[in-house]
Amino acid sequence: MYKKAQLPQSESQSITKMMALSLAAAFLASVWAMVSSRLFNRTRLRYPLPPGPKRLPIIGNLRDVNRIDKPLWLAYADWSKIYGDIFYLEILGEPMVILNSAKAIDDIFEKRSANYSDRPPMYMVNELMGWAWDFAHMRYSDRWRLHRKTFHQYFQPRQVPEFYPILRESASSLLTKLLHDPEDFIDHVRHHAGSIILKVVYGHQMQSKNDHYVNLADKAVKGLSQAIAHGSFLVDFAPILSYIPSWFPGATFKKKAEFWAHDSTETRDGPWVELKKSYDVQDNGTSVPCFATYSLEKFKNSKHMEEVIKNCSGVAFVGKVTYDTRGSYLLPPSLTTTLTIAAGADTTVSTISSAILALLLQPEVQTKVQEELDRVVGRSRLPNFDDRTNLPYLEAVLTESLRWNPVSPLSLPHRSMNDDVYNGYFIPSGSTVVGNSWSILHNPEFYPDPLTFIPERFLPKEGKELPPDPSLYVFGFGRRICPGRYLALNSAWIAIAALMATYRLSKRIDTKTGKEIEPVVDYSEGIVWLVQAP
């Protein structure tokens, strides 16, 4: 028997020290190369960079960002009051531009979309955690365009009415579950969103609220939610750090990435394997109609397109059924006071949960919704999509929910592909450009008293123009806007309508004092809201 050879401790420490010095030297060299290339850019010499916090040599605004003690979107909103609607940060030579107004976002992401539809490399998420298959993160390329086109063809607006029977069935199931088990309310909402997307994408019928695939996706997105905001890990600014082995001192980000990468791959591949087994057994023609089988039929015998379809299916699934599980949840009929939504959150679950919290906080709004439903629909049946145009107050509640509690207060990062000049400011090529949706949707100029839930602001008034539609700012921007937003919004609408037609939400009663427990709205780090009890 042979023993594994080991280096003396002193020699091992020497190797580790040499590796650290080599990495530090390579890191500083790469940062200096980026900084110097920007210093001597000719366009840069003619136009100033956007204003922003004072930068230090080499590290730039790294210390400023590290000192932030609130959610990024709130910090950026505060900085915009000092530096304006567009301001500049630089971290280890990597430029960042933050947009805080609707005009700036429209000018940059919409009118100049050809230059701003790229994504930054996102090393932590794509390279280390294995999310490169998600076309929401892909670089702007022919590969991205193919994925986007494949997805959009099935989820475009004119396709959504074909899903109405599935949406109605899921809403009815939600009401039944609430009747028998009200304490697990958020799980039932999650089941509502999950059952819809699994049926639409894979033809999979969920059997229970603890469906294996939904739990799998939820687990995967927990990791994604901690890394998706650009700069959550230093490796996004200094990709050379990705070469550090996971055992190296301080390389905890590599250990996290290795752990999270397994969940990412399994989430995409697990449901697909089951779908393919069923599809192959049923001889490519009699399997359950859904996005996956429709697309496989359309692109028969194409291994390349099969990979694209698998990726698109995974994107739809992960993006529409998951949410963070930190904390407890808001539960009727005697509701607790905590509701948690986090990055990567499902638009359906988020919107429904936000609406419920608002209706709980403002019972007079709940009364108005139910009076409108009684007047238009009556009490002998559930609301249907045919009733939607006749329920303007309910529509206003949904719209205000999107504004008041946006799913993604910060957009996924864009990247400038070429040097640009905007409003006299120079934006270097390769800049990470982030839109602050929260700042736009809480601008008192367009939405007076922005922290208060006021559905009436979206009801037509003679002589007054309606404020901007929040759906223009909560699903991303330009060519990177979320293509699944139509299904998500319809899923949320039918659930809220059915819930308000059958239930009255009330606050939880403190068993010791007999008084109502008031929910408290608070924030958490990440790119979505947290509603938390004291």
- Beta partners for residue 139, in sequence order: none
Coil, helix or strand at residue 98 = strand
Q: In the chain, pLDDT over 70 holds for what percent of residues?
A: 81
Q: For 511-534, what is each residue's pLDDT tens digit?
A: 788 888 777 665 444 333 333 332
pLDDT, tens only, 326-370: 222 222 333 322 333 322 235 778 888 889 889 988 999 999 999
pLDDT at residue 433 is higher than 60: yes
pLDDT at 9 over 60: no
pLDDT of residue 525: 42
Q: Which residues, listed in sequence order, are joined to residue 434 by a DSSP beta bridge?
A: 98
Whether residue 489 contacts residue 399, with contact meaning beta carbons closer than 8 Å, is answered with: no
Listed in sequence order, the residues at least 6 apart from 126 whose beta carbon sits closer than 8 Å to its beta carbon are 132, 137
pLDDT of res. 2: 41
* Predicted TM-score (pTM) of this structure: 0.82
Q: What is the pLDDT of residue 77?
A: 94
For 85-123, write each residue's pLDDT tens digit: 999 999 988 999 999 999 999 999 999 999 999 999 888
For the ranges 117-126, 206-215, 245-254, the one whose mean pLDDT is highest = 117-126
Which two structure tokens, joined as six digits, stand for 405?
């509690």
Q: What is the pLDDT of residue 21?
A: 52
Show the domains of the chain with their CATH numbers: 142-531 (1.10.630.10)
Mean pLDDT computed over 181-199: 84
Is position 482 annotated in a ligand binding site?
A: yes
pLDDT by residue (tens digit) across 16-65?
454 455 555 555 555 555 555 555 555 566 899 999 999 999 899 999 98
What pLDDT, on a 0 to 100 scale, did the predictor assign at position 342?
29
Q: Which two tokens stand for residue 117?
A: 């539809």
- Is the pLDDT at 307 greater than 70? The verdict is yes
pLDDT digits (tens, 9 = 90+) for 136-155: 999 999 999 999 999 999 99
Average pLDDT over residues 367-379: 96
Predicted pLDDT at 373: 97
For residue 1, give the 3-state DSSP assignment. coil
86: amino acid identity, one letter: I
Residue 204: φ, ψ to 5°: -90, 130
The segment with the largest mean pLDDT, out of 187-191, 196-200, 253-257, 398-402, is: 398-402
Mean pLDDT across the stretch 467-473?
94
Among 44-53, 216-225, 369-378, 403-412, where is mean pLDDT lowest?
Answer: 216-225
Q: What is the 3-state secondary structure (H, E, C) of 122-146?
A: CHHHHHHCCCCCCCCCCCCCHHHHH
Q: Which residue has the higher pLDDT, 300 or 207?
A: 300
Q: What pLDDT digit, counting tens, does each position of 453-465 carry?
A: 999 999 999 888 9
- State the pLDDT at residue 294: 92
Nearest to 399 by CA among 460, 339, 330: 460
Using DSSP's 3-state secondary structure scheme, residue 522 falls into strand
* 390 or 206: which leads in pLDDT: 390
- Residue-level pLDDT at 34: 55
Measure the CA–CA gap between 272 and 6, rounded to whole angstroms: 45
Tally of residues, the chain: 534
| DSSP states of 480-500 | GS-TTHHHHHHHHHHHHHHHH
| Rounded distance between C-alpha atoms, residue 305 and residue 359, angstroms | 45
For 469, the token pair is 């539609």
Q: What pLDDT shows up at residue 56?
A: 94
Tens of pLDDT, residue by residue over 247-259, are 788 788 888 888 8
Distance (Å, whole) CA 214 – CA 192: 11
Place of tokens 């850019």: 41
Average pLDDT over residues 180-197: 83
Closest CA to 450 of 412, 392, 406, 496: 406
- Categorize the per-residue pLDDT at 209 as very low, low, confident or very high, splitting at 50, 70 and 90: low
| Dihedral sign, Cα of residue 322, residue 328, residue 331, residue 336 | negative
Q: Cα separation of 492 and 192, whole Å? A: 9
- Reply yes or no on whether the pLDDT at 69 is more than 90: no
